[in-house]
Structure 1
Amino acid sequence: MTAEHAAENVADVTSPPSLDATVHQATGAGSSTLERRDRLTALLFERLAEARDDTERRRLRSEIVELNMDIARGLAWRYRGRGELLEDLEQVACLALVQAVARYDLSHGRPFQVFATPTIAGELKRYFRDRAWTIRPPRRIQELQGRIAGVLHDLQQQLHSSPTISQLAEALDEPEDDVIEALSADGCFTPQSLEAPVGPDPAMPAVADQLGAPERGFAELETSLIVGNAFAHLTDEDRRLVEMRFYQELSQRQIGEEIGMNQMAVSRALARILATMRVHVEA
């Protein structure tokens, strides 16, 4: 045997098999992509547990994160369409995946995906609960809304139609009033803009155009009723003075000339009348 052949034999004995080769041997040629990913993840965690060099540990963690990135993206995709950009949700999910890799303990015997999935989902739910609401409903309504989203698709498949409030409440074991409240809070992530049209046609009036405006008539009616009650307690002469001063808008001098009184007397009479009316208004 030549030296070259001997060296090759030594190399074959001393060099550890590649991860791909090890996974191929452990799972078989017909294994699915998911099975190979899970097995490769487990092997990487085994090497991580044995590694002592910090650089090597960081490299292995990075490989595990890259290998399982689809788990994070898949969970983020489930929460799409709720008012948050999918890219932002993926970022939250990927950060949660990094945390899951750092916290995973191989000795517990659970597959990494079993541990990572609720960890990532929990971070996504926390993101919506703490940051994504434009209008923040009570926490129980937030959580119930998430549960409704979780059972809605299954109920639609079973019933072949959209479930009623009572069917949702029964499936969730929640009062119907709470289900209604949670459904009514569906727009709290992204409320409709007041500038948006009321229908599909952009030329239709804006939502703001349909809102009511303060009605001055109600305040004027209330004032009229209050003043009218006080006015009813005045004598005919006092009512005439009030009408001339506040309805006809005559000056005190003009009133005096009209009824034959000097301006000072008119001023004192008006002061007395207003004091009397104030007593009845405040009564």
Structure 2
Amino acid sequence: MSRPLPETDPTAADRRSQAHALLVRLSALEEGDPRREELRRRLVELHAPVVRRIARRYSGRGEPEEDLRQVACVGLMQAIRDFDPRRGKEFLSYALPMMTGEVKRHFRDRTWAVRVPRRLKELRSRLIVLEGEFTQRHGRSPTVADVAEELGLGTAEARELVAASAAYSALSLDLPCGAEGEERTLGETLGGSDPALEAAEDRVALAPLLERLSPRDRSIVLQRFAGDRTQAQIAASVGLSQMHVSRLLSTSLTRMRRCAEEG
């Protein structure tokens, strides 16, 4: 349960009194009354210090404090809309869980680097607590098997949770990388030429030439050049002599070369 934030504002008592009076007036107005909007605005302004304190509490987690204020305000507006002063409950004790809950949902749903299932987002908070407590008890990080046992999950689900948790944040490709004074970013270190790419055009060109061979001859050619098998191994697999395999390879390659030249 959320506990009320400490009230250090010298006008806190006045704010509670003003808020109660405004909420009573708001509840007495019919929906659609233009005066309701003004009362809501005054209530939001009245609780601006509380909004700022909540935003500061959750700052430092990668989200701008101003954005967190806006999120907390969403919870405040929802509390103003739903609060019933006739029940005798203090407004701030009603509004605080809604404001902090809205901020927590923001971190759960909006700040992940990639999309992951909601159940894994909700389990991540338990995983973080587990990692801290487990490391303190055992002097090492928990394995997937440890996570599964501690959280009552299957091994596959625990593995998925650990992988998804690592996707919460991502490094920028513009992050400086390399030795001091070396002007290079992380993005410039990723990727490279693919040696297999050079052979892609050859594979495309060879496909129709292989189709012109008989199934046996095609198999021999593929075993020799795609399977990297010796002539002796091929001979044993097709039931021919090694010399016969050598002649068939030579004949097949000559035929393919002639077909390629003829187009």
Please indicate, yes or no, whether the TM-score normalized by the shorter chain is above 0.5: yes
| Bin of the TM-score, shorter chain as denominator length | 0.5 to 0.7
**Matched residues, percent identical?**
31
Aligned length: 210
Query: What letter is aligned with 2:26?
Result: L
Which secondary structure does the structure 2 equivalent of 1:242 belong to? helix
Distance 1:34 1:200 in 2: 54
- 2:59 aligned partner: 80
CA displacement at 1:101 relative to structure 2: 0.8
Query: Which of 1 and 2 has greater Rg?
Result: 1
> In 2 relative to 1, CA 84–208 (structure 1 residues): closer, same or farther, beyond 3 Å?
same
* 2:48 maps to which of 69, 73, 76: 69
Range that drifts further, 99-108 or 224-233: 224-233
> In 2 relative to 1, CA 165–140 (structure 1 residues): closer, same or farther, beyond 3 Å?
farther
CA displacement at 1:104 relative to structure 2: 0.7
The answer to whether the Cα contact below 8 Å between 1:198 and 1:206 also exists between their aligned partners in 2 is yes
Distance 1:210 1:64 in 2: 52
- 1:223 aligned partner: 226
Q: Does 1:104 align with 2:83?
A: yes
The answer to whether the Cα contact below 8 Å between 1:92 and 1:123 also exists between their aligned partners in 2 is yes
In the alignment, structure 1 segments of 5+ residues that lack a partner are 1-30, 253-283
- 1:3 aligned partner: none
- 1:57 aligned partner: 36
1:12-58, CA deviations, whole angstroms, 9 ceiling, x for partnerless residues?
Answer: xxxxxxxxxxxxxxxxxxx9433332233223223334457934433
The equivalences for 1:230-269 within 5 A come to: 230=234, 232=236, 233=238, 234-235=240-241, 236-243=243-250, 245-246=252-253, 251=258
Which secondary structure does the structure 2 equivalent of 1:192 belong to? coil
- 1:35 aligned partner: 13
The answer to whether the Cα contact below 8 Å between 1:135 and 1:189 also exists between their aligned partners in 2 is yes
- 2:189 aligned partner: 209
Query: What letter is aligned with 2:14?
Result: R
> In 2 relative to 1, CA 135–231 (structure 1 residues): closer, same or farther, beyond 3 Å?
farther
> In 2 relative to 1, CA 66–246 (structure 1 residues): closer, same or farther, beyond 3 Å?
same
Which secondary structure does the structure 2 equivalent of 1:188 belong to? coil
Across the aligned residues of Structure 1 and Structure 2, the Cα RMSD in angstroms comes to: 4.6
Normalised by the length of structure 2, the TM-score is 0.57
Range that drifts further, 36-45 or 80-89: 80-89
